[in-house]
Amino acid sequence: LAKTTQPISMDSYEGQEVNITCSHNNIATNDYITWYQQFPSQGPRFIIQGYKTKVTNEVASLFIPADRKSSTLSLPRVSLSDTAVYYCLVVLNDYKLSFGAGTTVTVRA
């Protein structure tokens, strides 16, 4: 399994940009990077995926450097409703998808 490491928690305020960095040092050539969001008492929800450089959708941006050993999820102008746990996953060739502990993001007014 490609092990991922994320900060345990991050605090922010409404309107700020939140950047969460995930380390995946042993990522393989064909592996993709995905990020999920989870609210209490709900299943995780897919946010974004990427292979290299930068990917942006209506919710977030994902930055992946050339060596692909890390990735950064960027949440622009967060609101209270963005308070959640965010997970970074590396999708392996065999699709054995495992979640790490995730990063608890708390947005304050």
Partner 1 sequence: NAGVTQTPKFRVLKTGQSMTLLCAQDMNHEYMYWYRQDPGMGLRLIHYSVGEGTTAKGEVPDGYNVSRLKKQNFLLGLESAAPSQTSVYFCASIDVGGGNSYEQYFGPGTRLTVT
Amino acid at 86: Y
In terms of C-beta density within 10 A (0-12 exposed, 13-18 middle, 19 or more buried), how is residue 57 classed?
exposed
Touching partner 1, residues 35-64 (CB under 8 A) = 36, 41-46, 49, 51
In the DSSP assignment, the letter for residue 5 is B
Amino acid at 66: A
Q: Which is nearer to partner 1, 13 or 99 (CB)?
A: 99
Instruction: Tell whether residue 106 is a contact of partner 1 (CB under 8 A).
Output: no
Q: Which is nearer to partner 1, 1 or 17 (CB)?
A: 1
CB 15, min distance to partner 1, A: 28
CA distance 59 to 35: 11
Q: Which is nearer to partner 1, 13 or 46 (CB)?
A: 46
Instruction: Tell whether residue 81 is a contact of partner 1 (CB under 8 A).
Output: no
